[in-house]
Amino acid sequence: MYVANQEVMQTLDRYTMEQLGLPGVVLMENAGNAVVQEILFHYHKTTRVLVLAGSGNNGGDGFVIARRLIDLGYEALLCFIGQEEKLKGDAKVHFQVYKNRGLPLYYYNHSDKERFLTCVQQAHLIVDAMLGTGISGEVRSPFFEIIETINDSNKDVIAVDVPSGLNSNTGKVANIAIRAKRTVTFAMPKIGFFIGDGPNYIGEWKVADISVPDSIVETLQLQLPKLLDEKTAKECLPKRKPQ
C-alpha cells in the first residue's frame, strides 16, 4: 500500500480528472459515499449526525455525506462554516444540490455559540469535513473554537480524509486538531498519519477507494513510500525451498 503526501494526492486527482476523464464532482460524490458506508457499518440509523463542513473540497465531501445520510434515514444536520460566495468548483455544485433539495442546513455563527453547543450536545456522531489536507499552519478562528468544543464534547468523531488541524505531510499539530475516533481517508493513507502527532489524532483509519487507481503511480513513475503491512511484509520474505 502506497503512502502519499498532499502534493502527490493533488497529482493523482488531477491525472484522474484530466487524463482519465473522471470529473471531480464524481470523485467528491464517491468520497462522500465512502464515509457514509463507514457510518452505516458502525452506527444505527437512529444516530443523530452533525456534519461540520468548511468551504473547500473537504467541505464538499461533507455536503455529500449529509445528503446521503438523510436519504438513508439518518437524522443529519449540515453545519456550514464559511461564506457561500467563497464556494467554488465541485464543492459549490454539491452545496447547491443540498440547498435545492431544502435539506437541514445550519450556518455557523461565531456570535451564537450557545446554538452551536446545543447542536453538538444533541448529536451522537460528528463528521469532521472542515479543513482536510489543506492546512499547513495554525488553526485560526472560528475553527479553533469549533475544534476545541468538539474535542471537549467526547462525542464520536469521524474525520473525512484527515482530521482538521493535522498536517498530512508532517503529522504536526501546530496548535489544535480534531481527535477522531475514525478517519476515512481517500485513495492512499497520508504520511502524517504515521509520524509526529498523527497517531494520536487519527484513531482507527481506513482507506476508501474513490476511483483514483494506484496504477497512476507506475504510469507517472512516482517514487512513493509503501506502508509495511502484513501483506507487504509477507511479500518481502524469501520463499522457502521445498523440502
- Say if 233 falls within a structural domain: no
Strand partners, 160: 184
C-alpha cell at 141: 478562528
pLDDT confidence of residue 229: 72
Domain that holds residue 121: 6-227
Q: Is residue 17 part of a domain?
A: yes
**Residue 243 within a domain:** no
What is the CATH classification number for the domain harbouring 69? 3.40.50.10260
Q: Is the pLDDT of residue 243 over 70?
A: no
Check pLDDT > 80 for residue 64: yes
Using the 8-state DSSP alphabet, how is residue 152 labeled? H
Tens of pLDDT, residues 73-124 = 999 999 999 999 999 999 999 999 999 999 999 999 989 999 999 999 999 9
CB of 34 closer than 8 Å to CB of 62: no
> For 214-234, how does the pLDDT look when each residue is reduced to its tens digit (9 = 90+)?
999 999 999 998 988 777 677
Distance (Å, whole) CA 121 – CA 207: 29
- What is this structure's pTM? 0.93
Whether 199 maps to a domain, the answer reads yes
Query: For the chain, how many structural domains are there in total?
Result: 1
* CA separation for the pair 145, 242 (Å, rounded): 63
Q: Is residue 237 part of a domain?
A: no
**Residue 69, pLDDT score:** 98
The per-residue pLDDT of the chain, averaged, comes to 95
Q: Is the pLDDT of residue 13 over 90?
A: yes
Grid coordinates representing 31? 468520497
Confidence of residue 238 (pLDDT cuts 50, 70, 90): confident
Residue 11 lies in a domain: yes
- The answer to whether position 236 is within a domain reads no
> pLDDT (tens digit, 9 = 90+) per residue, 109-165?
989 999 999 999 999 999 999 999 878 889 999 999 999 999 999 999 999 999 999
pLDDT in tens, 203-212: 999 999 999 9
Give percent above pLDDT 90 in the chain: 89
Kind and range of the H or E run holding 129: strand 125-129
> What does the pLDDT read at residue 8?
95
